[in-house]
Chain A
Amino acid sequence: MGEQVGLSFDLLVNALIAGILLGGFYTAVTIGVSISFGILDIVNIAHPAFIILGSYIAYIVNARLGLDPIATSVVMLPAFYVLGAGIYQVYYESFERRGQEALRGLSFFFGLLFVTEVMLILVFGVDYRYVEAPYIGPSWRIGVVDLPLRMLVPCIAALAMFAALELYLSYTFIGRAISAVAQDQLALRLMGASPIRIKRIAFGISIATAAVAGALLIIIQPVEPSVGREYIGRVFAICVLGGLGSLPGTVIGAMLLGIIESFTATFYGPSWAPAVAFGVLLLTLAFRPAGLLGR
């Protein structure tokens, strides 16, 4: 009897740790949407497609040059920033300025999501791709707890990215202006900052995070072009659960969803995991639409 209780306790602790590590990675996936949807009010449902794009770039560089995926993603940051700023410019000119962001803006991002996915399928096919790095494979063992480095490294990288963004938003002029753009655009203009320019910068940053998230994704699991779709539900569930516009809320939401998914996978089987995020999203929308740390 004692043996069995010990075993299930081990299982419980390991499921919890696995959930926290997974949650750390979900932070990286969600933080871009937390900026675009939470702060800028731009419903960028194409974000997961850009994450997959980041994964494929990490894969190509890793396969051709043997470079570390995380290092690659840091090098790619400026390119993704420029891509994001460009997309915002089109979005602003075509939809936001004309007040048509609801129907056509959403369809625009849906189209981008779709085009990116189909292009990746046309170029790379639907085979699963993966990267090689020294930390994929080994794992640390502390007591009964198993810490696979494949999960630990992305978790740490994601939390580092969160810390950097949080510091940037709290302590720099542009960072504070980004937070202000959600609250009062007129006041921002009076302070001598153009809301459009600030939003362009913020959207660029949000897409730039997709480069890092993509590299972390392909470290955690093999990637094929349509994997991104599974993340749409997760990303928005986390965003809403944590509270729109709150980066610390995003971390908490990500950790919670990671833990819930890990427990579901451990006790019910992994084929149910995709439904969990949606359940969380619907429950949050029904009972506490402002989220845990919402404004």
Chain B
Amino acid sequence: MRTRVFLLVLIAVAAVVFFAARLVSNDYVFFAGYTVLQFVVLATAWNILGGYTGYVNFGSAAFFALGAYATVFLHKLYPLPIPLLIVTGGIVSGIVGFGMGYLTLRLRGAFFAIATLALAIVLQTLVVNWDYVGGSRGAYIIRPNEIAFIGPYIQYLFLLMLALAVIALTIARGIERSQLGYGFATIRDDELAAEASGVPTLRLKLVATTMSGALMGMAGAPFPYYIGYLQPSSAFALDYAVNSIAMPMIGGTTSWVGPLIGAILLGSLQQIATVTISSAVNLLIVGLLLVAFVVIAPNGIVGLVQGWTRGRTK
């Protein structure tokens, strides 16, 4: 399937999802759906770097929070429409992703992973000490109730996140089938051999970190409008880091389908578990599933299904 056709199909699916959600006519569907879609974007963004090139980013929360705080910062200067805020959030997180990659990617992969882990803590320290964006007290963003043409504001946010998910999935699938994707795969399989055969590994890795960081920032940009009151602890929550790793790992990291399946399954499961049990228990479930899947099913659900169909055709 050509990328353009794929994009049209995704848009059609997204339209069906949106109008189906409107038929239910219950705002909770949009609130829960927004969170699940946000995880689709985060998991897909993580997978562009983690799944395709094999470099682990533990700092998803940092990139996400950068996007969210870029919104808070601009909102205080001058209220801009959200699509513009999404673009700025993407630019800020993309630049930070590029900088982190430039400093650490020339070394062994582990250093990059460790640096991203520490990045979240440092950015949180900066935000806590920065009074302009609310400091440790947090910042209020007043959300209008309605918006023209669409109606309730939460439906507008939902629609934006749906569009972001479509964009993220199209980019991920586009990469897989392009030269860029083959370049990424050579890095994942044997970086030394790739380097020796003339693959510009550092440049490719920088492209991956920048794209992945930018998409995470874009996912974070509408978040202050969604939550209404942004605290450092909610923007930098470990949930984002864990989920954006667990979802691709459980779904399968080799193609765009994996993060999508993982995000929809785990995201919905957590929405249900948060309501019925408690949020600590549901994080424990995510952690245990992550450990279980990397040990038992290294290629995730996609790998299990592939193994199963291959077994049947034999």
Contacts and interface: CB of A to CB of B under 8 A. Distances in A.
Contact of B129 (A95, A118, A272): A272
B284 A115 contact: yes
Contacts, number: 121
Contacts of B114: 43, 45, 232-233, 236, 281
A67 to B, nearest CB: 30
Interface stretch (A12-20, A72-80, A101-109, A152-160): A101-109
A94 B293 CA distance: 11
A271 B295 CA distance: 39
| Contact size range, A | 35 or more
B242 A281 contact: no
A78 to B, nearest CB: 24
Interface string B100-136: 0001100101110111011101101110110000000
B294 interface: yes
A43 B113 contact: yes
Interface residues of B, number: 42
Q: Is the interface of A mostly helix, strand, loop or mixed?
A: helix
A286 B290 CA distance: 32
A90 B291 CA distance: 11
A279 to B, nearest CB: 8
A229 B59 CA distance: 12
Interface string B225-250: 00000000000001000100110010
Contacts of A278: 115, 118-119, 121-122
A129 to B, nearest CB: 17
A278 B284 CA distance: 28
Nearest to A280: B118
Contacts of B50: 103
21 contacts: A94-B295, A94-B298, A103-B50, A103-B56, A104-B298, A106-B113, A110-B56, A111-B287, A115-B287, A115-B291, A121-B280, A122-B280, A233-B117, A233-B118, A236-B114, A236-B118, A237-B118, A275-B125, A277-B118, A278-B115, A278-B119
A230 interface: yes
A119 interface: yes
Contact of A289 (B107, B128, B294): B107
B201 interface: no
Nearest to A229: B121
Interface string B74-115: 000000000000000000000000000001100101110111
B208 to A, nearest CB: 13
B238 A114 contact: yes
A286 B104 CA distance: 7
Closest 7 CB pairs of A and B: A233-B118, A111-B291, A115-B287, A111-B290, A114-B287, A278-B122, A278-B118
Contacts of B117: 45, 232-233, 236
A128 B119 CA distance: 25
B304 interface: no
Nearest to A45: B117
B54 A102 contact: yes
A73 to B, nearest CB: 26
